[in-house]
Amino acid sequence: MADVRRIDLLDPAEVARLGGIEIVAQGVVEGFLAGIHRSPFRGFSVEFTEHRAYQPGDEPRYLDWRILARSDRLFVKQFEEETNLRAMILVDASRSMAWHGAPTRLTKRAYADRLAAALALILLRQRDATGLITFDEAVRQVIPARVKTGQWLRLVRGLLDTPDGRGTAAQTALLHLTGLLARRGLVVLVSDLLFDRALALTALRYLRHRGHNVIVVHLMDPAEAELSGPPEVRFRDPESPASVVVRPRELARAYAETVAREVAAWRAACRRHGIAYHHVLTDLPFGMALRLLA
């Protein structure tokens, strides 16, 4: 039985009623960290060292000339404010993300915002520089990766200041991101992936080719995973005027098979290019979603 004190294991909609994004994310992170016995995201972090090997692009003024004289090897001085990891979190704010299948559920966007805020808080506590990009048909917010005081509140404000959008332009946001990450780092895309798979994968593959660790979080409302409802219902496309009247019982099996094929196609395409893929329903407790990413 789940410990009621660990809100990271409770129903996300119940947790969201406790307060705003800041309160929810902080509570989720406290519960999540209390339930693990190792540092999360260890695959991406390294321990602090005084020196590191020189990399093309490093400023010559940070070279340690004494080590060069002794060993004929180039090292740069790494100061405390430098960080283990440079991470960027991309949150899809398109119109389809504002949907939920039942009034008691969080919208996909509300779930994404809280998950992103919790993930950012964990990364920043590890002194990993963390930034944010929100997008719909255009890039809406760009907060460069930093680790300085107040960065988490800036990221939360970036989420709150991004309204629900209309269309989707994942490729635009991802291409924008490639110019922001000069150093190898972590890229986390949180989206319902209702856009052209080939175009998005082109940008994701480019990031992977440049040495970034890429994680795709495929959000889906439980009602999207399984077709149900009254004998006859009208479904509307949230990003266009299109609509269709269907009988859920007649289409339930074919619909489930279509969803399974789509999820499998995304998973296979990501795996083929070394991209981590996670299919997450919006009724999954935030702590369990974070554990998938760790």
Same domain, 212 and 72: no
- Would you say residue 2 lies in a domain? no
The bridge status of strand 186-191 relative to strand 213-220 is parallel
Instruction: Tell me the residue range of the domain where 64 lies.
Output: 48-81
Residue 263: inside a domain, yes or no? yes
End-to-end CA distance of the chain: 23
Residue 242 and residue 214 in one domain: yes
Q: Is there a single domain that holds both residue 259 and residue 231?
A: yes
**How far is it, in rounded angstroms, from Cα 193 to Cα 270?**
12
Q: What is the pTM of this model?
A: 0.80
Q: Is there a single domain that holds both residue 103 and residue 177?
A: yes
- Answer yes or no: is 182 within a domain: yes
For 251-294, the pLDDT digits (tens) are 778 888 989 999 999 999 999 999 999 999 999 999 999 999 97
The number of domains in the chain is 2
Same domain as 109, residue 148? yes
Do 29 and 68 lie in one domain? The reply is no
Angle at the Cα of 95 from the Cα atoms of 93 and 98, rounded to 5 degrees? 80
Distance (Å, whole) CA 164 – CA 93: 5
pLDDT score recorded for residue 243: 75
Q: Judge whether 91 and 21 are in contact, CB under 8 Å.
A: no
Question: What pLDDT score was predicted for residue 71?
Answer: 73
144 & 73 share domain: no
1 domain-assigned: no
Same structural domain, 222 and 243: yes
Residues 280 and 144 in one domain: yes
Q: Is residue 181 part of a domain?
A: yes
Could you tell me the CATH number of the domain that includes residue 19? 3.40.50.410
Q: What is the pLDDT of residues 101-135, one digit of tens each?
A: 889 999 999 999 999 999 999 999 988 999 999 98
More confident residue, 15 or 228: 15
Q: Of 32, 57, 81, which residue is a domain's last?
A: 81
Q: Residue 145 domain-assigned?
A: yes
Cα separation, 15 vs 10, in Å, equals 7
Residues 62, 36 within the same domain: no
**Is residue 225 in a domain?**
yes
At residue 28, the pLDDT reads 94
Does 36 share its domain with 60?
no
Q: Which of 13-17, 89-93, 230-234 comes out lowest in average pLDDT?
A: 230-234
Q: Where is the domain boundary, 81, 102, 131?
A: 81
Note whether 174 and 98 are same-domain residues. yes
